[in-house]
Chains A and B, each alone.
Chain A
């Protein structure tokens, strides 16, 4: 909300409205409805409505081949009774927590370097592009590109053995939780870098200078000025990373070699077995949990207020 009010405020006159302007506003509102209407309709048709269908189907009954309209709570009861559910959530939360921490540390430092250390604008744009271009290439290919690296006879093991550090290949590198985390960090760090970069770029550099003149060391400047002023970016990046990891099934499947599971990869198995109602119930619970996590982040950091700054 604040995001676009900010753009609107910037573009609009600050003077109090006259009667003529108010009439303009009404026709302006109609124009805005026509302009945003098509996008809203597409999102309602292919996102809003389907999510309501998922909610409805989560109460359906099902047979081996079909879904049967009903209003039963069995799918939810089975979900809460199963021990597997808790294990899957713990697995997903573990991945989310580790990946969040790693991408946060990486993202913060990369953004800090780009904003405060790179002096020329051209270099800044160039290096920023270097960080963002992989986002526009295939995720699957970026994921599988770790296979020749981490495999039993992969580059990493060859290097370790060549250097005499290990005498036999490390088995835990590929098809393990380690590989899953490496792939997540590789794919998602970008989502941390970009919002933090945007927050930091708006920090008035004279603030840092003043702090330094007042005798603050580098670390104090970062801890007491840069960190608090980039928390909007950190919050937005955290929302992206947490929702991406919690919602993933493809990375965890491929990189763990089927040994680890996530909530969504288990859901995908149910879909493959045509068990749509339990899958839908699982999706509903997952959406509730992710929404709570996002709400928690937004409670800690008032993104709207910060963006309107």
Chain B
């Protein structure tokens, strides 16, 4: 659109400044609470920093007054892993199924979209009421799991649409022509080719579950997940402990995000190298 030797128009700098402000708006407050989580023992909920300490992090573990942080953290990690696995398996399968037109495909698609935009609290209310009428107990690993899947599965499906839209089927056809069984074709061609997209689905499944609140609020049963525990803290904890838990949970999210993104990048660059060496040999 612009010649590369041409200078940038003034609007570029205006937009760049605007974008910079937006990024500051996005990350600034988060960075502030990480700084404040190192507040000294006598410090308050805002600046100035009254010394620097790990007091509020240790309070997180030692104080029972703030609730069951450790237990809810373990539950949330377990639930997120479970949600990620189920989301990957079901949305990869469904994504492959949607490559053909079939009777009922429109219904399945609209079901997923409706599930995506339905207010989360309503989904949770419906599940809680259904179990109540059936005389069953709600628990994070049954109703909580199901409620979260109504949120992660549509996302997984949409990501698979995007991934499969760029997928070249001739590799699969070549495998069939060379005598591969359905399973060989799937496990040795389709799956490896889709791997970066699958990691993306797993990332979304894990993080969306790990942070989910509205759908889980009425379906977690007697034991809280971490977001529910934090939500309870926002109403009764008025110390930097709240920031400490925020810092910890965001670090976990970032570790997961960075792991996923670097593995996707590693796969892509290995592929690019493979293509190059293919070309140089050919």
Residues of chain A whose beta carbon lies under 8 Å from any beta carbon of chain B: 1, 3-8, 10-12, 25, 28-29, 31-36, 38-40, 42-54, 57, 67, 106, 109-110, 112-114, 116-117, 119, 127, 129-131, 133-134, 136-142, 144-149, 151, 153-155, 158, 186, 189, 205, 208-209, 218, 239-240, 243, 246-250, 254, 264, 267-268, 271, 276, 279-280, 283, 286-287, 290, 294
Contact = CB atoms under 8 A, between A and B. Distances in A.
A50 B98 contact: no
Nearest to B1: A205
Given A29-B103, A40-B111, A294 B117 contact: yes
A50 B218 CA distance: 13
B60 interface: no
A95 B26 CA distance: 20
A40 to B, nearest CB: 5
Interface in B98-154: 98-106, 108-112, 114-115, 117-123, 125-127, 129-130, 132-133, 146-147, 149-150, 153-154
Contact of B18 (A109, A140, A148): A109
A148 B45 contact: yes
Contact residues of B: prevailing secondary structure: helix
A49 B129 CA distance: 11
Given A50-B127, A110-B18, A146-B29, 8 more contacts: A6-B165, A11-B164, A31-B97, A145-B246, A148-B36, A148-B47, A149-B32, A248-B119
A220 to B, nearest CB: 14
B27 interface: yes
B111 A44 contact: yes
B211 A40 contact: no
Given A46-B150, A141-B33, A141-B246, A34 B97 contact: yes
Interface of B: 1-2, 4, 8, 11-12, 15-16, 18-19, 22-23, 25-30, 32-33, 36, 45-47, 86, 89-91, 93-94, 96-106, 108-112, 114-115, 117-123, 125-127, 129-130, 132-133, 146-147, 149-150, 153-154, 157-158, 161, 164-165, 167, 169, 203-204, 207-208, 210-211, 213-214, 218, 227, 230-231, 234, 242-243, 246, 249-250, 253-254, 256-257, 261
A243 B117 contact: yes
Contact of A38 (B2, B8, B90): B90
A214 B259 CA distance: 48
Contacts of A294: 117
Given A35-B96, A136-B253, A186-B26, A110 B19 contact: yes
A8 B98 contact: yes
A248 B256 CA distance: 27
A171 B249 CA distance: 30
Contact of A276 (B33, B120, B129, B211): B129
Contacts of B149: 42-43, 46
The CB with the most chain A CB atoms within 10 A, among B29, B130, B167, B203, is that of: B29
A5 B165 CA distance: 10
